[in-house]
Amino acid sequence: MVGSMTAVGAGLAVIGAGIGLGMIGGKAMEGIARQPEAAGDIRGNMLIMAALVEGAALIAIILSVFILG
Amino acid sequence: MNDIINMRIFLILFLCWFGTFNTAVAGDNNGKFDVAETALHHIADANHWFLFGNVYIPLPCILYDRETGDWSVFMSSKFEVEEKGTGTKAIDRYVLNHGMIQRVKEKSFPMGVQDIKLEGHGEKVHVALAGAGGHDHSHDHSHDGHDHDHGHGEHFTVENRSIWDGGMLGGGMSSYYDFSITKNVATMMIAFLFLGFVFFSMARAYKKWNNQGPKTFWQRLLEPVFIFLRDDICKPVIGEQHYMKFLPYIAALFFFILFLNLIGQIPFIGNPNVSGSISVTIVLAIFTLIITNINGTGHYWEHILWMPGVPAWVKVILTPIEILGVFLKPFTLLVRLFANITAGHIIILSFIGLIFVFADIGVETGMGRGAGAMIGGVLAFALGLFMSAIELLVAFLQAYIFAVLSASYIGAAVDTGHDHH
């Protein structure tokens, strides 16, 4: 039971991160399309924000690994 | 010329695929193939460096007994490793279980070199003395069925290894200190020597020619990267005033992590998973934690302990969160690097494991091992190649992210806040 619950938890974390990463990527693409000369800055900030979102999801996944193990 | 290179690449890829395919067909006939177990076994640290098949580089084991104060120093080849990195000898009660040194719990176990048979996994490891004093018969007996009790005191258990949590998560502490040069330590030494050679030779070249050509190979390769670190990470993130002080740390982080990530991507050298080892990332994050906080200005500490410009009741809530944040920021750093690199290695290993899984399916459906492994091999080749390309990107990306986030934490700490007021 704990095993399947942690699997669900890990999956939910991935869904959340996926939505977040999709929004970051989409908005960054829009921004670059509107202002191609700022592409470099937007790309750098996009990567940092993506890493932060990913960090939240990874903490959830690591916690579920600890609960499982 | 290009045709020859293409032919060679194709030949190498074909040989790799054929080698794995052969293993799938010939070996592993006993029992089903467990993808998860194999993947976890391959990303773990080890006391020997397996290259391919049963060929491995022995590494030195340096062990200190906390109770008696004795040192045991020997090469890991003395364990006489067989498949899956499990040793067939015990030395001073130390055994090698799936590549990791563990110690027999019972004090009655004889010291010195002993023939053993090691069975089980995780916490349920059993060690049986084999052939001691000419008990060949009883050894065969115990080999046939190890379920029933022998009553000769032949079976022993092993201690848990103490890991990065220091026994806090219930693992307990071992009765010895392990100073061994493991695969990860050896890889970090290689990184140290290689990066030291590259950067010292670069520095010498800059001194000698002083901004005139011709530039050496390493200068041409790494100068743009270093200038990117200086002008696009350190200068804007840390600030004009302080960035030169922290540039060496940020650059060292970036190149160290990048080198470890990349060396883990090279196939057929044992894929050392160093930046995917949580102990390594913990130490890197502790460096960032210390450097951030010892350089913190009054402005920085004021914003943590007593945030200006908010009502008092909000400060009561905000201060604990901010103090937690001081430790959470490096924690996310270490988890991000560890999880990304480990996940990448697990995914690639799982894809390679598809060959063995499909071979098992081939036996079940009556197609035969070969036909199953062939289908699995095609899948594993395509998916593995795709994932390796993604991982190459991730290797650069994670080194960049670690460096840029460390820089931004340091930048927030050294910021005196003149531009805000």
Residues of A in contact with B404 (CB under 8 A): 44, 47-48
Nearest beta carbon to residue B339 from set A44, A52, A61: A61
Q: How far apart are the first and last CA of chain A?
A: 14
Q: Check if A25 contacts B (Cβ < 8 Å).
A: no
Q: How far is B165 from chain A (nearest CA, A)?
A: 12
Residue B403: closest C-alpha in chain A: A48
pTM of the model: 0.82
SS3 of residue B29 by DSSP: coil
How does DSSP assign B301-350, residue by residue? HHHHHS-TTS-HHHHHHHHHHHHHHHHHHHHHHHHHHHHHHHHHHHHHHH
Phi and psi torsions of B182, nearest 5°: -85, 180
* Partners of B129 in the β-ladder: B116
Q: Check if A38 contacts B (Cβ < 8 Å).
A: no
Q: How high is the mean pLDDT in each 10-residue block of chain B (421 residues)?
A: 66 61 52 72 80 79 84 83 75 81 79 77 68 43 42 66 66 78 91 94 86 81 92 88 91 94 83 87 94 90 85 88 90 88 85 84 81 85 88 90 92 75 43
Shortest CA distance to B85 belongs to which of B49, B128, B112?
A: B49
Please give the pLDDT value at position B254. 95
Contact A48 B404 (CB under 8 A): yes
Q: How confident is the model at residue A36 (pLDDT cuts 50, 70, 90)?
A: very high
Nearest beta carbon to residue B339 from set A47, A52, A62: A62
Q: How far is CA B211 from CA A34, B207, B251, in A?
A: 40, 8, 20
Q: Which among A14, A45, A58 is the top mutation candidate for probing chain B, defined by the most B β-carbons within 10 Å of its own β-carbon? A: A58
User: Domains in chain A, start-ordered, CATH in brackets?
Assistant: 2-68 (1.20.20.10)
The C-alpha atoms of residue A43 and residue A41 are separated, in whole angstroms, by 5
Phi and psi torsions of B156, nearest 5°: -130, 160
- For residues B219 and B209, the answer to whether their CB atoms sit within 8 Å is no
As a whole number of angstroms, the longest Cα–Cα distance in chain A is 53
Shortest CA distance to B9 belongs to which of B17, B169, A29, B234?
A: B17
Q: How far apart are the first and last CA of chain B?
A: 64
Shortest CA distance to B175 belongs to which of B123, B105, B121?
A: B105
- For residues B383 and B349, the answer to whether their CB atoms sit within 8 Å is no
Residues of A in contact with B335 (CB under 8 A): 55, 58-59, 62
Phi and psi torsions of B114, nearest 5°: -130, 145
Name the strand (E) or helix (H) holding B63.
strand B60-65
Distance of CA B294 to the CA centre of its chain: 29
Interface contacts A/B by beta carbons within 8 Å = 33
Q: Check if A61 contacts B (Cβ < 8 Å).
A: yes
Q: Which among A14, A42, A48 is the top mutation candidate for probing chain B, defined by the most B β-carbons within 10 Å of its own β-carbon? A: A48
Please give the pLDDT value at position B35. 74
Contact A48 B408 (CB under 8 A): yes
Q: What is the mean pLDDT of residues A1-15?
A: 81
Please give the pLDDT value at position B159. 78
Please give the pLDDT value at position B84. 66
Nearest beta carbon to residue B332 from set A47, A59, A66: A59
The C-alpha atoms of residue B326 and residue B214 are separated, in whole angstroms, by 46
Q: How far is A8 from chain B (nearest CA, A)?
A: 18
* Partners of B95 in the β-ladder: B102
Contact A51 B401 (CB under 8 A): yes
Contact B336 A47 (CB under 8 A): no
Sign of the Cα pseudo-torsion (B293, B298, B300, B302, in order): positive
The C-alpha atoms of residue B192 and residue B116 are separated, in whole angstroms, by 37
Q: Which among B331, B332, B402 is the top mutation candidate for probing chain A, defined by the most A β-carbons within 10 Å of its own β-carbon? A: B332
Q: What is the mean pLDDT of residues A23-40?
A: 93
- For residues B365 and B358, the answer to whether their CB atoms sit within 8 Å is no
Contact B397 A61 (CB under 8 A): no
When mean pLDDT is compared across A30-34, A65-69, B248-252, the lowest value belongs to A65-69
Contact B401 A47 (CB under 8 A): yes
Please give the pLDDT value at position B213. 72
- For residues A2 and A64, the answer to whether their CB atoms sit within 8 Å is no
Q: Are strands B155-157 and B176-178 parallel, antiparallel or unpaired?
A: unpaired
The C-alpha atoms of residue B242 and residue B250 are separated, in whole angstroms, by 13
- Please give the ipTM for the structure prediction: 0.74
The C-alpha atoms of residue A41 and residue B232 are separated, in whole angstroms, by 9
Contact B400 A55 (CB under 8 A): no
Q: How far is B402 from chain A (nearest CA, A)?
A: 9
How does DSSP assign chain A, residue by residue? -HHHHHHHHHHHHHHHHHHHHHHHHHHHHHHHHH-GGGHHHHHHHHHHHHHHHHHHHHHHHHHHHHHH-
Contact B339 A66 (CB under 8 A): no
Strands (E), B83-236: 89-91, 94-97, 100-103, 113-119, 126-129, 155-157, 176-178
- For residues B43 and B342, the answer to whether their CB atoms sit within 8 Å is yes
Tokens for A31, please give them.
Answer: 């921004």
Contact B335 A58 (CB under 8 A): yes
> For residue B299, how many other CB atoms are within 10 A of its CB?
17
SS3 of residue B155 by DSSP: strand
Contact B335 A51 (CB under 8 A): no
The C-alpha atoms of residue B70 and residue B63 are separated, in whole angstroms, by 8
Residues of B in contact with A43 (CB under 8 A): none
Nearest beta carbon to residue B336 from set A47, A51, A66: A51
The C-alpha atoms of residue B124 and residue B130 are separated, in whole angstroms, by 19
Q: Check if A39 contacts B (Cβ < 8 Å).
A: no
